[in-house]
Each structure stands twice: as C-alpha cells, then as structure tokens.
Structure 1
Amino acid sequence: MSDSTDDASLAADPYRALETLQGAGRGSLTDAVAEALRGAIISLAMEPGMMIDKLAVCERMGVSRFPVSAALAKLAAAGLVEVLPQRGTRVMPIVMHDIRQHLFIRSALEVETVRTLTSASPNAMIEVLGALDANLNRQREIVAAGLRPEFHTLDLAFHEILLDATGLPRVKEIVAVSRSALDRARRLMASPERHAHTLAEHERIVEAIRTRDAEAAAHAMHHHLDEVVAELRRFASERPDLFRE
C-alpha cells in the first residue's frame, strides 16, 4: 500500500493507528495505551487539535475507560494532549514558542559540534566521513524515490553520526530530547521539496567538515536549523488550526 493510501485511510479514521491489546494487567495496560496514543500523535495519525474520543479508543484497543483515562493523564503531563473543561481531551496543538526553544538548544549544540569536527584529527575523521557519505548516498536514493518515513530515519541517523563523533554522550542526550520534541513539527513538513532542501543542506555541512572549514560548517548547520523555523512559519500560516504561538 502506498504512503498516500495509508495517509488517506488514517485521515478518515485516525483510530486505525491503534492496535488491539490483550492479556495485560491494569498498570501495563495504561502504559501500553499511552505508548500507542503517543505513537499516533507523534506520527500525526492524530493531528494537532483533534478531539480524542475515549470510547473510540476503548473500542479500537479492546480496553475499558480506566486505562484510557490514565493514559491520557500521562500524555497531558508530557504536553502531548490537553484537557478542555466541559469539552474533553484534544491533541495539543504545536506550540511555536516551544519549537523556538528546542531549536535554540539544537543550534547551540549542533553548530558547535560541526565546528569541533573540522579541527578533529584527519585520521579520526576518516570513518566519520565515510559514514556520512554512505548516509548521504542513501538519502539521495530515498529522495529520488519519495520515501518519507525512510528519509526521516536517515535524517536522524545523519545528526547522530555527527554527535557520536564528538565523543560527548551528554550532548547527544540533550539534543535527542529536543529532537523528540520537534518530531511532530518535522513530520508536518515532510514533503519531497523539503526533503530535497534538507539533503542539499546536509551535503553542504559535510563538505565544510571535509574541507576543515569551521566557519562554513557552523554557518551551514545554523542555516539548516533556521530553515526549519522558516518552513514551520510558512506552514503555520496555511494551517493555523494546528499551531499555537
């Protein structure tokens, strides 16, 4: 089945993204329901602003109302859903203020990451550059084929290669938290045009690292992350129902 067919099916019935659960205790049921709902929200099967029908979740997953209510409470604490008095629970719109904060964190750390790699030992960078080149080659194939989920995976891997090369796991952990917070926003922008631009931006980053040009590498990474904000603003102007300032 094609991505477009899957997307259309989920748009018609977003609860199709949830699987039936069996044989779990109450506590583990709550965790399982929460994880399933989290996945549906992050993947955009349940769009920002969508009202969640608890009964539909119960029927689809084969559970009672208690684990669904408990799961939604956990997701509310995580900022993925919000309870509207007298109305019910809805998927939290994407908050632009939060997006800017997480991109600020990423920019500060990832710009410094690529700047640092330009001064690393050439011998130490042979394997890193090889991994980056292999990743870029695969990105080109995926962009040409228009495979959106696969590109998302390669994009994550590209940045992980850079962060792993610094040998600073705490930095990688901090960036990972901010990247996770941006997942819904990034998936909203998942289009062939955006992926082609992202690939070109990645190529410029790697070329600057390869030529050991610290300022070019820093500028390329800064521009890459700034483009996310610019693209989001354009998207938010077209779909203001999905966003909140």
Structure 2
Amino acid sequence: MERNKALLYRPGSGPAGAGTIYETVRSDIVRMRLRPGEQLSEKELGLRFMTSRTPVREAIVRLVDDGLIEVWPQRGTFVTRISLKAVKRARFVRSALELAIIREAASQGVSQDTVAVLERAIAEQEASEGDPGRFTDADDAFHRTFANTLGYGDLWSIVETQKAQFDRIRFLSLPNVTPLDLLIAQHRAILEAVKARDPDDAEATLRQHLSIVLDTAQGLLRTDPDLIIDDLGADDPGLR
C-alpha cells in the first residue's frame, strides 16, 4: 500500500469517523486511485485516518455491501474487480430514472437559469483537458441539474448509490477510450432537444448517450480482463 500513502487524510479536527472513511475510500475506488485487486490494510487505514480499527471496520462493511471491496479470510481485504452485472444493473436504474426525467424536462421546458447551469457544465467539460475527475464532475452536474430543476433531486441520490461500478468504468476509460468530444456533443444535443421542447429527440439522444458505457465495458473486458469480471452468467442476454 506504499502508493496509497500519497492519499493522505487531512482531517478538519480529530480522528475520522466511519462515514468519512467510507466516503473517502469509496471515492478512491470509484476514481481508480485504488485499483481492482489492490489490498487494503485495516492498520494502515487506521493510521491514514488517525483512528482506531472500529470505524475502519464499519466503513469496510459498507464498502463490502456496495460490492467495492471483498474480504477473504486468512488472505486479506481487496478492492473488487469491476462487475459487469453491477454495471448492467446501474445502467438499468439510471436509464429508468433519467429517461423519464429528460422527457418531462423537454415536455415542460426549463428556465433560462437552468439552461445557464447546463451550459456551464458543458463548458467545464470542454475545459477539463482530459482530466477524468474534472470531466466526470461536470458530467454528473449536467445530468443532476435536470433532476434538481424538476424537484427530483432525491431520485438522483438513488442513481448515485447504484452507479459506483458504472463510474469505475468511466474513470478507467477516460480520456483514452471514451471519446470526450462525442460525450460533449451528445450533451449539447440533449440540451438543444430540451430547449426545443422535443421529448422524443431528448430521450433518444440520452438513451444513446447512456449506452456508451456498455460498449466501453465490453471493450475493457477484452483489453483489461484483470480489472473486470464477466459475472453476467450464461443465460444472461448481456449488457444490452
């Protein structure tokens, strides 16, 4: 875990609680600072977060429940490989919610203030210079804005809880695998369809936009099989 010592915890005051440890390590895993197969040490996490093993273990239980780490008796605690089954599930949840949200946004229209927020998110993506963290933060801001402006911000929290594996694919693929220009162009097309009050076009473009991660996951399975696990099962129709 030598490389992880650079990821130092900077507490506001005192030792970190289980919630802070969970959120920080979860972010490290999702953003690929902790990669699949990497081993975690309760002792070193305790030192990093200036705390005892009890809150560390509480955080680990939550991360196990999220499918982001696994504990092997007599072997240790490891970051899981990216699960295609979890990616498919996250895409299903996200599509179900976001497609309904985008149709409603396009049907009733959005305010100029909301359009300005969406434009800023796109501009931030364009200015990200291929930085995966900056690009993804702006990407999330774009999608979350539609939910917020319709009063469905609480629904976005459901998406957030489901899409950790989805996001790991994004961070693994940006900027070299996933074409950033295409993602930005699709965002602009979605926004234009919403402004034009065209729910069919907005939904079709968003559906295409959300399918990119599935193509990316299949490609990465071939090129990085040590990072991704195909756990869909023989009877599963696949990521489509």
TM-score (norm 1): 0.79
How high is the sequence identity, in percent, across the aligned residues?
Answer: 27
Please state if 1:152 is matched with 2:140: no
> Any stretches of 5+ residues in structure 1 without a counterpart?
1-10
Q: In the alignment, is the contact (CA less than 8 A) between 1:16 and 1:60 conserved in 2?
A: no
SS at match of 2:219: helix
TM-aligned CA distance change 1:222 to 1:65, over 3 Å: same
- Name the residue aligned to 1:129: 115
1:128 to 1:59, Cα distance in 2 relative to 1, 3 A: closer
Alignment of 1:95-244 (within 5 A): 95-121=83-109, 124-142=110-128, 145-180=129-164, 182-191=166-175, 193-244=178-229
Cα distance in 2 for partners of 1:62, 1:174 equals: 31
For residues 179-217 of structure 1, give each alpha carbon's deviation from its aligned partner in whole angstroms, at most 9, with x where no partner exists: 445332221122155322211111111122122222111
Q: Which residue of 2 aligns with 1:5?
A: none
Deviation at 1:60, TM superposition (A): 4.8
**Alignment partners' CA distance in 2, 1:29 and 1:176:** 21
Gaps of 5+ in 2: 232-240
Report how far residue 79 of structure 1 moved: 2.4
The residue that corresponds to 1:6 in the other structure is none
**Contact map agreement 1:18 1:40 (CA 8 A) in 2:** no
1:34-74 Cα offsets, whole Å, 9 max, x none, are: 44433322222210121224444455555555554454334
Structure having the higher helix fraction is 1
Number of aligned residues: 228
Alignment-derived partner of residue 75 in structure 1: 63
1:209-230 deviations in Å (ceiling 9; x for gaps): 1222221111100000011111
Structure 2 equivalent of residue 19 of structure 1: 9
> Helix, strand or coil: the match of 1:48?
coil
Deviation, 1:31, is 4.6
